[in-house]
A and B are shown apart, each in its own frame.
Chain A
Amino acid sequence: NAGVTQTPKFQVLKTGQSMTLQCAQDMNHNSMYWYRQDPGMGLRLIYYSASEGTTDKGEVPNGYNVSRLNKREFSLRLESAAPSQTSVYFCASSLDRRSPQHFGDGTRLSIL
């Protein structure tokens, strides 16, 4: 029972580099989410996908793009990384937007 799988677990980037964080779920969930978690700030929603084929901005979308590749996969892209994007990124999924969310173990991203 993999649940929600995120790759990579750790990454160090230089300012201006780009990268894509991958997320896949095997629970046949319709909704998927990307959050960032910073000390003292709780979880902040970056983007979400209510269902396959749709994506919407969350609370802090600037500097990010997402792709809902299919029902299972939802990726987050940083086009030009900035030090302010140093954070722990979590992907989550849920059956629908009211249901409990299931989280991956996170990607720890440092931007120098």
Chain B
Amino acid sequence: GEDVEQSLFLSVREGDSSVINCTYTDSSSTYLYWYKQEPGAGLQLLTYIFSNMDMKQDQRLTVLLNKKDKHLSLRIADTQTGDSAIYFCAEILTTSGTYKYIFGTGTRLKVLA
């Protein structure tokens, strides 16, 4: 199927690390993205990883990619209250030469002070 799966909720304490997981559908997907949605706003691109990479680090964010298991994760170090938001992963499916964006259902991260 074309469902990109994420757990619905995650709650962490301020200062701890958060790990948000995503299972995508197509092991040949070349682009995988993480977006953040704050209340009342649209989605904002956080980071991305290409399929020829296993890991990407960007300041407090670390993206890990396991192509064999089609598993993507986003780790946020030293989580702050401002990180409370909904996080979406997205993959690009290639079908018959065209591209299709598939978003996950989103993980709502709540950071407790």
Q: Which residues of A contact B (CB under 8 A)?
A: 4, 33, 40-43, 45, 90, 92, 96-98, 100-106
Contacts of B40 in A (CB 8 A): 105-106
How near does chain A come to B89, taking the closest CB pair, in angstroms? 11
Question: In the complex, A103 Cα to B48 Cα: how many Å?
Answer: 16
Closest residue of A by beta carbon distance from B106: A42
In contact, A101 and B101 (Cβ under 8 angstroms): yes
In contact, B45 and A100 (Cβ under 8 angstroms): yes
Contacts of A102 in B (CB 8 A): 45
How near does chain B come to A95, taking the closest CB pair, in angstroms? 12
* Given A97-B99, A98-B31, A106-B41, A43 and B88 contact (CB-CB distance below 8 Å): yes
In contact, B104 and A42 (Cβ under 8 angstroms): yes
Contacts of B48 in A (CB 8 A): 100
Question: In the complex, A49 Cα to B89 Cα: how many Å?
Answer: 22
Closest residue of B by beta carbon distance from A48: B101
Question: In the complex, A106 Cα to B108 Cα: how many Å?
Answer: 18
In contact, A103 and B43 (Cβ under 8 angstroms): yes
In contact, A4 and B42 (Cβ under 8 angstroms): yes
* Given A42-B105, A42-B106, A105 and B41 contact (CB-CB distance below 8 Å): yes
